[in-house]
């Protein structure tokens, strides 16, 4: 990675603080000012990670595993447990429960396991839980994620400039808010430079299914798409793009070696600082539930260095937008219409971070995702 | 007496082509072969005779490399050999034609001849293969149609293809397992001519048969096996019917004339229990198998059905036991027309059925003896209480039936396929006789049985008849039919050629009718017209 | 006096059972060796597994929760084996049962005592509906049920994904990619184990009784072992096939319903957890014995549970899958060996 961002701890802590006062979700409200959990000696600490796929996917799970490794490096006497490929089924409960049984004091669920996670959280009040892409908080539970829509908007700008056909393709897992906000941000970025661009989405019902992603990519290219993006945990559709002579942007890591010519950039999260900080608090005895954290652009989520074949002027235009966002501008300002043409955000209004996090309708130009 | 025209030129003096010494083969709990010596000379037809279970098949399977002997030696031309697989045996010039043909039905004759043969040219066209086949056929003087598909051929033609396939691979020893079972008398005569020619060119034939008259007619020497051991080898000219039967069974057996009855009403006076009126039915493939059958089956008679296998016997037996639906016509059971086919209802009426292939339809091989033996009576109070099936009651009934059938069974829970073929047949026969209060349909009941068991079974049939039960006996053994039946019907291509009193019939006429010729039909009696 | 090994057409039941035990033991030994080679201590791991599974109520409850759907899907497959068919579609029927039960649970309101039976019936209906086409195709046209049932699995899975992430998705806060929580829950029987476990046990015992001690069961047995024999005896094979296949679908559908109402409480894409396919393994291990389904389902539940424990100890998922495969492989080899017996060479009885 060529691009170096400066990690601003103050920035995400600020957001985190703001979140705890304003980002209160309905359904399950954490007690205000819950007491911190008791301190733990480093040598007694067991920190557990539940992953959705193999750590070798070079995507989401590799990145999560890097977080786990960073914890191990920062607290060498602590023990980390990592379990890969946990299905989104009752088996997830069993795994999380097993973590608790083995004495873990802090458990990271690196994806939204919903009830399967919550049932364990409820029964283990003395264990700290953090859920990526979560929605609920409790005295012993917080959630965290990254404001991926910001760098995604930047990639959308690049895609709008690079696509000749104006037809963009998106490979989604499920029609969940993460995929909806990602495809929306991408579409809005593209439309900011090419108002007639469209985005076709195919959901393959998995975060990790190279064969399914391949098929979806081929179908999209057959439909005329010449720029692919998606939320896959691996690089397979980049290889399809390379073979078929179209461009692609990726998620989670630098995958350019799988398609030198096709590679444009990638959305890259970095959990290490956040994870080490959370574990430090847990050991110190200052960690308490209720945390709601979105890592901001430049502070845990960013774009990767541009690909070899991306023209300098495209890179420059997209990076200018990136600077604007870091400077405080929000691209998610009205007027925004949904796929039926109805105005969902009036001119002058701006979607806040909670709304972006829970986005569940597609913007005009996106097809194939929202219902 | 053997036909003097068929004596070999060099009979008795030729060297041993194949010699088996001290062959032994064991199966679970059974000695299939023990200490068998056998010499097959060039230029002879050597008959292998024995009851079922005497070890004939095992011995031939060893000689053709399907089994490996546990002890003993095989020598070809005096040199010891070991056959690890059938391919080794074929390479050594030993070929076998099995009782059940191993041809690919959808392939042509030429394709079957060339299938799995090292000398088959690569990338040959169908025309080339047919030309090669025609040349081979001419060489061995066996007429076949190279381009015909197997399923279009008669049993005799299929057999010729099988023989040709073996001969094409340079066989010097041809093994035939019950070759005449599926042939008409005239087809059998053709076969014997071909075998004679083969023998005259210095080769050898091993001829496995149950039929003593054939053995006496065609063979040069006879070896009799009993209980897996060789009893004797004799020059055929020194043998007769009675002596061979005695050697096979270990005691003298004479097939009696069961027809003898005294003070019985004539055929026409007996009441009809089952009647077919203008019945047409299809076979498994949906092709017409029975054409306009009119037949009345009367209480207290044995009605023999003669015919070459495959002329509608299977379908006839299925129609009169309610298994096969009719295409047209009607069946009257006890005087009432049956509206739809229901084998259970036929059985309940008192129609028993010994099917021609017990493992295919008469038994469920993987299920226990209990389950198999009660299949005709599981709905009765003997086994069931309302909708409930009582396994202990089933076991009691099974023990009764096994005792009646004189089959010793160590464990009634074991799968019925663990029993020998003869014991299976005995159980099925007993099971069916129990429910045959009105009619017993017996298709090839003596298949797989030795002479002793056949006698017992045929005596059962006579007893049933004498009790007033109608017995429909389907058989290809004319001797059996003639000695047992009151009337005989001949089936040919799904039609009844003729029905006549057995007393007025002779073998020659029946043979002609079986081949489809009606010219010499004797005066009929009792046939519906 | 010499001895020889000879193949018998059928193994002795006691020998078959012993061989099974040896096969499973061998698989564990080989698995342990692999673990040892990869640098972990197999005894410590084994100890950990036993402690976590049997040493705590958590472990035993997990076994019960896992065994519940496995017993039912195993039973569903086993029932069709009795009539000589393979229901490879228990997975799809599981989904269909779950879908139907969830529909009732989500959109119909009523007292729990009424709604749970209603969901149960919906599960039965869903499972049956999903096997209807393969059943009719098998019974009337002779279409191989292996293929039809298998292909419908994918349709059912995608249908559930569609509803769970589309029209029925949870629009409130909470779980992504699933429906809202269903209010009607199977009451708990023991810890987390719900009454579905009891239902699974009762259904299996009932099926065993019906198949062994009724005329209908006898006819199914004959039809499965040799359909020609059944036709010969006048048993309505076609009707028995239809009934058995529908029953099989219903049982798999009940498994889906119980997973919705007892364990997950929502409808979501991954709900089957492969229980339908694992049911095939259970049925293979159980052969055609209904009661063998219990043992096989318990074994599978133990392996799955051990898998989770071993993963937290640093073993990968593939190692667990490999262990399952080893158990099956050794069992298959063992079943073949069970056909052989040592006999005296010179004993001759016909």
Model ipTM value: 0.84
Do B341 and B418 have their domain in common? Answer: no
Calculate the average pLDDT of chain C: 88
Cβ-defined contact of C214 to B371 (cutoff 8 Å): no
* Structure confidence by residue, pLDDT tens digits, C265-320: 999 888 888 899 999 989 988 887 877 899 999 988 988 888 888 888 877 777 77
DSSP state of B524: P
The predicted model scores a pTM of 0.77
Cβ-defined contact of A84 to C317 (cutoff 8 Å): yes
pLDDT-derived band at B252, boundaries 50, 70, 90: very low
Do B306 and B388 have their domain in common? Answer: no
Residue B185 pLDDT > 50, yes or no? Answer: yes
* Structure confidence by residue, pLDDT tens digits, B436-468: 999 999 998 877 676 677 778 888 899 899 999
Residue C45 lies in a domain: no
What is the pLDDT at residue C175?
67
Interchain CB contact of B418 with C (< 8 Å): yes
Q: Which of C165, C258, C319 is the best substitution to test chain A (most A C-beta atoms within 10 A)?
A: C165
Residue C227 pLDDT > 80, yes or no? Answer: yes
Which residue from C minimizes the CA distance to B421?
A: C350
Give the closest of A83, A90, A176 to C311, CB-based.
Answer: A83
Residues of chain B with pLDDT > 70, as a percent, come to 88
What is the pLDDT at residue A30?
35
Do B2 and B75 have their domain in common? Answer: yes
Residues of chain A with pLDDT > 90, as a percent, come to 68
What is the pLDDT at residue B53?
66
Q: What is the mean pLDDT of residues B37-55?
A: 86
Query: Are the C-beta atoms of A294 and A353 separated by less than 8 Å?
Result: yes
Do B443 and B512 have their domain in common? Answer: yes
Task: Name which of C306, C256, C246, C309 is nearest C279 in CA terms.
Answer: C256
Higher pLDDT residue, B256 or A11?
Answer: B256
Smallest Cα distance from C60 to chain A, Å:
12
Smallest Cα distance from B27 to chain C, Å:
7
What is the pLDDT at residue A238?
95
User: Helix and strand tally (H, E) in chain B?
Assistant: 16, 22
Q: Which of A266-270, B42-46, B121-125, B525-529 has the weakest average pLDDT?
A: B525-529
Give the closest of C8, C221, C234 to B347, CB-based.
Answer: C234
Cβ-defined contact of A91 to C304 (cutoff 8 Å): yes
Q: Which of A80, A112, A174, A181 is the best substitution to test chain C (most C C-beta atoms within 10 A)?
A: A174
Calculate the average pLDDT of chain A: 87
Query: Are the C-beta atoms of C102 and C156 separated by less than 8 Å?
Result: no
Residue B253 pLDDT > 60, yes or no? Answer: no
Residue B136 phi, psi (nearest 5): -65, -45
Final residue belonging to a domain, choices B410, B435, B460: B435
- Quick check: helix, strand or coil at residue B360? helix
Give the closest of C161, C264, C304 to A205, CB-based.
Answer: C161
Cβ-defined contact of B391 to C212 (cutoff 8 Å): yes
Do B431 and B442 have their domain in common? Answer: no
Residue A240 neighbours by CB distance under 10 Å? 23
Residues of chain B with pLDDT > 90, as a percent, come to 26
- Tally of domains in chain C: 1
Cβ-defined contact of C305 to A371 (cutoff 8 Å): no
Residues in chain C closer than 8 A to B250 (CB atoms): none
Q: Which of residues 89-108 of A touch C (CB under 8 A)?
A: 89-91, 94-95, 97-99, 101-102
Domain that holds residue B401: 366-435
pLDDT-derived band at B481, boundaries 50, 70, 90: confident
Q: What is the mean pLDDT of residues B320-347?
A: 87
The answer, yes or no, to whether A and B have at least 3 beta-carbon pairs within 8 Å is no
Cβ-defined contact of C316 to A136 (cutoff 8 Å): no
Cβ-defined contact of C222 to B342 (cutoff 8 Å): no
Q: What is the mean pLDDT of residues B269-275?
A: 84
What is the pLDDT at residue B337?
85
Smallest Cα distance from C212 to chain B, Å:
8
Query: Are the C-beta atoms of A270 and A5 separated by less than 8 Å?
Result: no
Which residue from C minimizes the CA distance to B352?
A: C233
Q: Which two tokens stand for residue A357?
A: 């996090």
- Tally of domains in chain B: 3
Higher pLDDT residue, B122 or B136?
Answer: B136
Residue B13 pLDDT > 90, yes or no? Answer: no
Sign of the torsion formed by the C-alpha atoms of C280, C286, C288 and C289: negative
Do B4 and B60 have their domain in common? Answer: yes
Cβ-defined contact of B375 to C229 (cutoff 8 Å): yes
Higher pLDDT residue, A15 or A151?
Answer: A151
* Structure confidence by residue, pLDDT tens digits, B59-81: 998 999 888 888 899 999 888 98
Residues in chain C closer than 8 A to B355 (CB atoms): 232
Cβ-defined contact of C343 to B367 (cutoff 8 Å): no
Tally A–C CB contacts below 8 A.
Answer: 98
Residues in chain C closer than 8 A to A358 (CB atoms): 173
* Structure confidence by residue, pLDDT tens digits, B80-116: 988 888 888 888 889 998 877 788 888 888 888 888 7
Cβ-defined contact of C266 to A28 (cutoff 8 Å): no
What is the pLDDT at residue B57?
82
Cβ-defined contact of B388 to C231 (cutoff 8 Å): no
Residue B102 neighbours by CB distance under 10 Å? 11
Smallest Cα distance from A27 to chain C, Å:
6
Residue B51 pLDDT > 80, yes or no? Answer: no
Interchain CB contact of A81 with C (< 8 Å): yes
Residues in chain B closer than 8 A to C342 (CB atoms): none
Cβ-defined contact of C229 to B361 (cutoff 8 Å): yes
Domain that holds residue C76: 70-300
Cβ-defined contact of C175 to A97 (cutoff 8 Å): no
Give the closest of A28, A90, A99 to C65, CB-based.
Answer: A90
Residue C142 pLDDT > 70, yes or no? Answer: yes
Counting every residue written for chain C, the total comes to 350
Domains observed in chain A: 9-146+270-295 (3.40.50.2300), 149-268+301-367 (3.40.50.2300)
Residues in chain C closer than 8 A to B53 (CB atoms): 350
Do B57 and B20 have their domain in common? Answer: yes
Which residue from C minimizes the CA distance to B70?
A: C345
Interchain CB contact of B390 with C (< 8 Å): yes
What is the pLDDT at residue C4?
61
Give the closest of C7, C221, C348 to B367, CB-based.
Answer: C221
Residue B164 lies in a domain: no
Cβ-defined contact of A84 to C263 (cutoff 8 Å): no
Cβ-defined contact of B28 to C222 (cutoff 8 Å): no
* Structure confidence by residue, pLDDT tens digits, B279-330: 999 887 778 889 999 999 999 999 999 887 778 888 999 999 999 989 999 9
Interchain CB contact of B89 with C (< 8 Å): no
- Other chains touching B, judged by 3 or more CB pairs under 8 Å: C
* Structure confidence by residue, pLDDT tens digits, A277-288: 999 999 999 998
Cβ-defined contact of C316 to A84 (cutoff 8 Å): yes
Q: Which residues have C-beta within 8 Å of that of residue B373, sequence separation ≥ 6?
A: B394, B397, B398, B401, B402, B427, B431
Residue A331 pLDDT > 50, yes or no? Answer: yes
Q: Which residues have C-beta within 8 Å of that of residue B276, sequence separation ≥ 6?
A: B293, B294, B295, B296, B319, B320, B329, B330, B331
Residue A371 pLDDT > 70, yes or no? Answer: no
What is the pLDDT at residue A25?
31
Do B411 and B334 have their domain in common? Answer: no
Cβ-defined contact of C172 to A95 (cutoff 8 Å): no
Interchain CB contact of C225 with B (< 8 Å): yes
Give the closest of A28, A115, A205 to C269, CB-based.
Answer: A205
What is the pLDDT at residue C82?
92
Residue B86 lies in a domain: yes
Smallest Cα distance from B391 to chain C, Å:
7
Tally B–C CB contacts below 8 A.
Answer: 105
Task: Tell me whether residue C114 is exposed, middle or buried, using C-beta atoms within 10 angstroms of its C-beta: 0 to 12, 13 to 18, 19 or more.
Answer: exposed
Q: What is the mean pLDDT of residues C334-347?
A: 67
Do B343 and B441 have their domain in common? Answer: yes
Higher pLDDT residue, B13 or A76?
Answer: A76
Residue B256 pLDDT > 90, yes or no? Answer: no
What is the pLDDT at residue B244?
81
Cβ-defined contact of A91 to C171 (cutoff 8 Å): no
Residue B524 pLDDT > 80, yes or no? Answer: no
Query: Are the C-beta atoms of B463 and B260 separated by less than 8 Å?
Result: no
Interchain CB contact of C216 with B (< 8 Å): yes
- CA separation, residue A6 to residues A272, A326, B287 (Å): 14, 12, 85
- Which residue shows structure tokens 């193949």? C7
Do B329 and B406 have their domain in common? Answer: no
Angle at B84 between CA B83 and CA B87, to 5 degrees: 75
Do B448 and B529 have their domain in common? Answer: yes
Residue C26 lies in a domain: no
- Other chains touching C, judged by 3 or more CB pairs under 8 Å: A, B
Interchain CB contact of C2 with B (< 8 Å): no
Calculate the average pLDDT of chain B: 82
Do B428 and B440 have their domain in common? Answer: no
Residues in chain C closer than 8 A to A180 (CB atoms): none
Residue C230 lies in a domain: yes
- Calpha distance C159→A159 (Å, rounded): 33
Q: Which of A33-42, A183-192, B176-185, C254-263 has the weakest average pLDDT?
A: B176-185
- Calpha distance B361→C240 (Å, rounded): 18
Angle at C85 between CA C81 and CA C88, to 5 degrees: 90
Smallest Cα distance from A104 to chain C, Å:
11
- Calpha distance A308→B446 (Å, rounded): 87
Question: What is the domain-level CATH number for residue B278?
Answer: 3.40.50.300
Residue A64 pLDDT > 70, yes or no? Answer: yes
What is the pLDDT at residue A15?
41
């Amino acid at each position: 990675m060529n691009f170096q961002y400066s990690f601003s701890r103050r920035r995400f802590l600020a957001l985190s603080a703001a979140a705890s006062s304003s980002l209160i979700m309905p359904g399950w409200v954490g007690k205000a000012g819950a007491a911190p959990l008791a301190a733990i000696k480093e040598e007694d600490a067991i920190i557990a990670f539940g992953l959705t796929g193999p750590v070798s996917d070079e995507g989401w799970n590799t990145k999560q595993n890097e977080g786990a490794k960073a914890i191990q490096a920062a607290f060498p006497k602590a023990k980390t447990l990592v379990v890969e490929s946990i299905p989104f089924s009752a088996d997830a409960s069993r795994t999380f429960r097993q973590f608790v049984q083995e004495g873990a004091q802090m458990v990271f669920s690196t994806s939204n396991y919903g009830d399967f996670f919550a049932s364990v959280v409820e029964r283990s009040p003395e264990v700290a839980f953090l859920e990526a892409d979560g929605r609920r908080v409790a005295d012993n539970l917080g959630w965290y994620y990254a404001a991926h829509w910001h760098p995604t908007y930047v990639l959308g700008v690049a895609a709008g400039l690079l696509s000749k056909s104006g037809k963009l393709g998106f490979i989604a897992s499920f029609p969940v808010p993460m995929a909806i906000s990602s495809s929306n941000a991408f579409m809005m970025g593209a439309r900011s430079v090419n108002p007639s661009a469209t985005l076709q989405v195919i959901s393959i019902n998995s975060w990790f299914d190279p064969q399914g992603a391949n098929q979806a990519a081929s179908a999209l290219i057959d439909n005329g798409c010449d720029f692919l993006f998606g939320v896959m945990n691996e690089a397979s559709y980049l290889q399809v793009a390379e073979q078929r002579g179209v461009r692609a942007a990726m998620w989670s890591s630098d995958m350019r070696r799988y398609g030198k010519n096709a590679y444009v950039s990638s959305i890259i999260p970095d959990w290490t600082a956040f994870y080490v900080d959370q574990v430090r608090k847990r050991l110190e005895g200052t960690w308490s539930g209720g945390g709601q954290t979105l890592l901001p652009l430049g502070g845990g989520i960013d774009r990767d260095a541009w690909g070899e074949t991306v023209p300098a002027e495209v890179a420059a235009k997209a990076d200018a937008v990136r600077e604007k966002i870091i400077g405080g501008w929000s691209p998610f300002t009205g007027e925004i219409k949904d796929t039926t043409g109805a105005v969902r955000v009036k001119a002058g209004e701006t979607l806040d971070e909670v709304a972006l996090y829970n986005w569940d309708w597609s913007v005009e130009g996106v097809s194939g995702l929202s219902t | 007496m053997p036909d003097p025209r068929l004596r070999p030129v060099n009979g008795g003096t030729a060297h041993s082509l194949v010699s088996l010494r001290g062959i032994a083969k064991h199966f679970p709990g059974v000695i299939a072969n023990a200490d068998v010596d056998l010499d097959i000379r060039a230029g002879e037809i050597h008959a292998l005779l024995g009851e079922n279970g005497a070890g004939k098949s095992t011995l031939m399977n060893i000689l053709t490399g399907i089994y490996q002997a546990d002890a003993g030696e095989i020598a070809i031309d005096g040199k010891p050999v070991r056959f690890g697989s059938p391919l080794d045996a074929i390479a050594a010039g030993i070929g076998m034609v099995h009782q059940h043909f191993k041809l690919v039905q959808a392939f042509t004759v030429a394709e079957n001849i060339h299938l799995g043969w090292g000398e088959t040219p690569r990338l040959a066209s169908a025309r080339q293969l047919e030309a090669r086949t025609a040349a081979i056929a001419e060489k061995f003087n066996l007429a076949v149609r190279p381009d015909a598909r197997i399923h279009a051929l008669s049993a005799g033609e299929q057999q010729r293809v099988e023989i040709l396939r073996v001969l094409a691979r340079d066989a010097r020893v041809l093994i035939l397992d019950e070759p005449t079972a599926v042939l008409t008398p005239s087809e059998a005569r053709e076969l014997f001519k071909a075998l004679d020619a083969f023998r005259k060119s210095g080769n050898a034939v091993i001829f496995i048969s149950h039929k003593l008259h054939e053995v006496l007619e065609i063979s040069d020497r006879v070896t009799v096996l009993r209980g897996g051991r060789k009893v004797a080898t004799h020059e055929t000219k020194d043998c007769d019917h009675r002596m061979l039967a005695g050697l096979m069974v270990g005691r003298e057996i004479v097939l009696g004339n069961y027809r003898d009855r005294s003070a019985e009403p004539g055929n026409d006076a007996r009441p009809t229990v089952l009647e077919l009126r203008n019945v047409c039915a299809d076979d498994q493939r949906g092709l017409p198998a029975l054409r306009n059958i009119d037949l009345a089956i009367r209480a207290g008679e044995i009605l023999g059905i003669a015919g070459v296998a495959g002329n509608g016997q299977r379908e006839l037996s299925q129609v009169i036991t309610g298994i096969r639906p009719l295409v047209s016509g009607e069946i009257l059971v006890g005087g009432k027309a049956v509206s739809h086919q229901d084998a259970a209802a036929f059985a309940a009426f008192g129609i028993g059925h010994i099917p021609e292939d017990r493992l295919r339809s008469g038994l469920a091989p993987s299920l226990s003896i209990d389950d198999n033996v009660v299949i005709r009576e599981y709905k009765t109070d003997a086994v069931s209480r309302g909708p409930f099936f009582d396994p202990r009651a089933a076991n009691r009934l099974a023990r009764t039936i096994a005792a009646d059938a004189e089959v010793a069974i160590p464990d009634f829970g074991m799968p019925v396929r663990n029993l020998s073929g003869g014991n299976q047949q005995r159980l099925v026969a007993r099971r069916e006789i129990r429910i045959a209060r009105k009619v017993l349909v017996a298709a090839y009941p003596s298949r797989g049985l030795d002479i002793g068991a056949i006698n017992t079974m045929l005596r059962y049939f006579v007893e049933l008849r004498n009790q007033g039960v109608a017995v429909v006996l389907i058989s290809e053994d004319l001797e059996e039919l003639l000695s047992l039946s009151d009337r005989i019907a001949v089936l040919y291509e799904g039609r009844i050629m003729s029905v006549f009193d057995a007393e007025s019939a002779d073998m020659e006429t029946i043979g002609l009718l079986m081949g489809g010729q009606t010219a010499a039909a004797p005066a009929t009696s009792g046939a519906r017209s | 006096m010499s001895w020889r090994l000879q193949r018998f057409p059928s193994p002795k039941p006691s020998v078959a059972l012993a061989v099974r035990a040896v096969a499973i033991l061998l698989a564990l030994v080989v698995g342990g060796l692999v673990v040892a080679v990869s640098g972990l201590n197999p005894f410590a791991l084994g100890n950990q597994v036993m402690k976590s599974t049997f040493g705590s109520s958590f472990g035993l409850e997990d076994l019960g929760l896992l065994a519940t759907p496995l017993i039912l899907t195993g039973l569903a497959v086993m029932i069709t084996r009795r009539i000589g068919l393979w229901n490879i579609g228990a997975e799809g029927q599981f989904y269909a049962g779950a879908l139907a039960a969830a529909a009732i649970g989500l959109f119909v309101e009523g007292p729990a005592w009424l709604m749970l039976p209603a969901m149960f019936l919906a599960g039965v209906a869903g499972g049956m509906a999903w096997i209807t086409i393969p059943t009719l195709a098998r019974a009337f046209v002779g279409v191989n049920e292996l293929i039809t049932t298998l292909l419908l699995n994918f349709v059912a899975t995608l249908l559930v994904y569609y509803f769970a992430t589309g029209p029925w998705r949870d629009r409130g806060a909470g779980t992504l990619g699933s429906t809202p929580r269903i209010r009607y829950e199977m009451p708990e029987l023991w810890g987390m184990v719900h009454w579905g476990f009891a239902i699974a046990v009762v259904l299996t015992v009932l099926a065993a009784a019906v198949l062994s001690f009724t005329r209908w069961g006898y006819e199914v047995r004959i039809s499965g072992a040799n359909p020609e024999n059944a036709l010969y005896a006048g048993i309505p094979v076609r009707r028995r096939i239809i009934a058995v296949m529908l029953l099989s679908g219903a049982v798999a559908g009940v498994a889906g319903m119980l997973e919705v109402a007892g364990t997950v409480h929502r409808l979501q894409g991954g709900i089957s957890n492969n229980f339908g396919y694992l049911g095939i393994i259970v049925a293979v291990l159980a052969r055609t014995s209904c009661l063998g389904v219990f043992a096989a389902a318990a074994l599978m539940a133990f392996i799955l549970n051990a898998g989770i424990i071993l993963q937290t100890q640093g073993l990968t998922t593939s190692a667990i899958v490999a262990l399952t495969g080893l158990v099956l492989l050794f069992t298959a080899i063992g079943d073949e060996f069970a056909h052989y017996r040592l006999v005296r060479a010179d004993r001759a009885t016909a």
